[in-house]
Amino acid sequence: MQVSATAQAVCSGAGSCWFTWGRIKAGDCTMDHAKWTLNRDGSASFEAVITSSDSNDAWLMWVDALDSSRFVLGAIHHNGDPKFVKGTVKNQWHWWFARGSFNADFFDRIDSMRLKSHC
C-alpha cells in the first residue's frame, strides 16, 4: 500500500528550507520525525525514525518538490535514482539518514514537498 503526505515551507530567498512530517504509516511500517532539508546548491538531507511490526520489511520513499500550485518541479534523487530504501528491524526503532540532490534552478519556486511511501 502506497501512502502520500505533503509538507509545506517557503524556500524563496532562503539559503535552505526544511519540511517536516508527523507520523506516517504504510503497511506494517511506521515513520516518525521525518525531515527533509533542501539547500540552495541543490543538496538535500533526510532524517527520520522508522520501525515495522513485521520482519524483513523495507521502507521505500519517493520525494517530489512542488510549487505553490502543487505542480511537480522535480524529484529528490541519489545517484540519479528517485527511490530511497531503508530496511527495518521488527519492533525496533532505527534512525534513517539519507542524502540526495535536486535541480537547484527551481529552489526559489519550492513551496511544498510530497513524500510517497510504501512498505
Q: Compute the Cα dihedral for 18, 99, 76, 1 and give only its sign.
A: negative
Structure pTM? 0.89
Mean of per-residue pLDDT scores for the chain: 92
Does residue 27 surpass a pLDDT of 70?
Answer: yes
Does residue 53 surpass a pLDDT of 70?
Answer: yes
Task: Please tell me the distance from the alpha carbon of residue 119 to that of residue 7, in angstroms, as a whole number.
Answer: 20
End-to-end CA gap in the chain: 7
What pLDDT shows up at residue 44? 98
CATH (one of 1.20.120, 3.40.50, 3.90.550, 2.60.40) for 2-118: 2.60.40
What pLDDT shows up at residue 6? 74
Task: Please tell me the distance from the alpha carbon of residue 108 to that of residue 63, in angstroms, as a whole number.
Answer: 17
Does residue 1 surpass a pLDDT of 60?
Answer: no
What pLDDT shows up at residue 14? 82
Once rounded to an integer, what is the mean pLDDT over residues 12-21? 88
Task: Please tell me the distance from the alpha carbon of residue 20 to that of residue 7, in angstroms, as a whole number.
Answer: 6
CA distances from 47 to 36, 50, 67 (A): 7, 10, 23
Q: Which of 90, 115, 116 is nearest to 1 (CA)?
A: 116
